[in-house]
Amino acid sequence: RSDLPGWQVKEGKLHKDFEFKDFNEAFGFMTRAALHIEKMNHHPEWFNVYNKLSVDLQTHDAGGITENDTKLAKTLNSLQ
């Protein structure tokens, strides 16, 4: 998606793999993101190993990708 750099649709979810310099940078990003995630009350599926973070976004109640998912994807991109 051109409006969401780095994101792609995989298995009905917005997906992006983030890579950071090290674990501290990855965890710092997740911590900053968590503040926005809580405000939005829209929680990702994410998986972190060392400096890598995989994020999947979908709205379970809607059964797919919604505007909340694209907003969160844009927010995560802005924090990187």
| CATH code of residue 57 | 3.30.1360.20
Please answer whether residues 13 and 1 qualify as being in contact, where contact means their C-beta atoms are separated by less than 8 angstroms.
Answer: no
Q: In this structure, is residue 57 part of a structural domain? A: yes
Give dist(CA 73, CA 53) in Å, integer.
Answer: 14
Q: Report DSSP letters for 5-25, one per residue.
A: TT-EEETTEEEEEEE-SSHHH
pLDDT of the chain along its 80 residues, tens only? 668 999 999 999 999 999 999 999 999 999 999 999 999 999 999 999 999 999 999 998 888 999 999 999 999 999 98
Rounded mean pLDDT of the chain?
95
Q: In this structure, is residue 12 part of a structural domain? A: yes
- Taking the whole predicted model, whether its pTM rises above 0.85 is answered as yes
Taking alpha carbons only, the member of 7, 72, 3 closest to residue 44 is: 72
Q: In this structure, is residue 2 part of a structural domain? A: no
Q: Which domain holds residue 68?
A: 8-79
Q: Say how many C-beta atoms besides its own lie within 10 A of residue 42's C-beta.
A: 16
